[in-house]
Amino acid sequence: MRILSIQSSVAYGYVGNSAATFPLQRLGNEVWPVLTVHFSNHTGYGQWRGQVFDPAVVAEVIEGIADRGVLGTADAVLTGYQGSPGVAQVVLDTVARVRSLNPSAVYCCDPVMGDVGRGMFVLPGLPELIRERVVPVADVLTPNAFELAYLSAPEPDPAAVDLSRLASVDGLLTAVETVRGMGPSTVLVTSVEHAGGVGRIETDQPEIAMVAVDETGAYEVRTPRLPISVNGAGDVTAALFLAHLAEGVEVALARTASSVYAVLERTAASASREIQLVDAQQSIADPLCEFPVRRLA
């Protein structure tokens, strides 16, 4: 698969394209990384150096790819943190252009906007733009639970996201169907806290879940919750899910969960602030799929 990936980049560590490119390549995909920013390190450190690229620069790089005559051979467009309305417009224009050249191309959007405990961390107005203009053109959407709650709300308010509507399996799936009705045919929800406990044997081990829904049904996978908080795991998750999706949503969910857990497990053992992608690369290339996927609906 040939993937045009429009995301941020760091020299040290792994977020954005710096997190997505290696796993995609390790699985045998061709990746064309287009950078929206280039920083020394991710912003979680509190200090960084580098530059946010003007949307015109991002568009110019994409135009250069088009000059090579290969833009129409892209099988997918992948985006994460978009940063500004200008970059979002470049993304929308690029997706439309790729689809005009290759109608079967897939757009996978990780709608990075906010998270539990942090609220919205993007520029004012960007959550509304993503909901109203970006989400409707996506084929695959990979929100976390906080982002799903915002996107699916009857009257969405970026300053008051209500997660209580997702506190049951029915509530979660209703929210997903609301978002699917906006455009995306496939939705992967990450960081699902309640983990669809109905009909499951509960254990003392804290767990976290991912739920994937497409036209074939709704599916859940649980993994142990590890006592770490890192940057870049969501970028890896979206990339891996896209890479495996051609094999079906159940397979994609099982492989993605297995690989991401292996990365996080090695990260926890290393006590590093950076996810251990290189160290866990065998688990990316050949995931064990040790966590069962169950059908929710």
Q: What secondary structure, in 3-state letters, does 93-156 show?
A: HHHHHHHHHCCCCEEEECCCCEECCCEECCCCCHHHHHHHHHHHHCCEECCEHHHHHHHHCCCC
For residue 194, what pLDDT is reported? 59
Vertex 276: Cα angle to 273 and 280 (nearest 5):
160
In the predicted model, is pLDDT for residue 214 greater than 80?
yes
For residue 197, what pLDDT is reported? 45
Q: What is the C-alpha to C-alpha distance for residues 174 and 99, in angstroms, rounded to an integer?
A: 29
Dump pLDDT digits (tens) for 101-158: 999 999 999 999 999 999 999 999 999 999 999 999 999 999 999 999 999 999 999 9
Dump pLDDT digits (tens) for 228-239: 999 999 999 999
User: What percent of the chain is predicted at pLDDT more than 90?
Assistant: 94
For residue 224, what pLDDT is reported? 95
Domain count, the chain: 1
For residue 193, what pLDDT is reported? 86
Q: What is the mean pLDDT of residues 68-81?
A: 97
Q: What is the C-alpha to C-alpha distance for residues 153 and 275, in angstroms, rounded to an integer?
A: 32
Residue-wise DSSP of 158-218 = TTS--GGGGSSHHHHHHHHHHHHTTS-SEEEEEEESSTT-TT----SS-EEEEEEEETTEE
In the predicted model, is pLDDT for residue 78 greater than 80?
yes
Instruction: Provide the domain limits for residue 183.
Output: 2-295
Tokens of 153: 């709300």
Q: Quick one: pLDDT band at residue 205, thresholds 50, 70, 90? A: confident
Dump pLDDT digits (tens) for 273-292: 999 999 999 999 999 999 99
Any bridge partners for residue 167, and if so which? none
For residue 200, what pLDDT is reported? 45
Q: What is the mean pLDDT of residues 83-106?
A: 97
Q: What is the mean pLDDT of residues 249-253?
A: 98
Q: What is the H or E stretch that residue 31 is in?
A: strand 30-39
For residue 204, what pLDDT is reported? 64
Q: Quick one: pLDDT band at residue 17, thresholds 50, 70, 90? A: very high
Dump pLDDT digits (tens) for 158-190: 999 999 999 999 999 999 999 999 999 999 999
55: domain CATH number is: 3.40.1190.20
For residue 199, what pLDDT is reported? 36
In the predicted model, is pLDDT for residue 201 greater than 60?
no
Strand 50-52 and strand 140-141: the pairing is unpaired
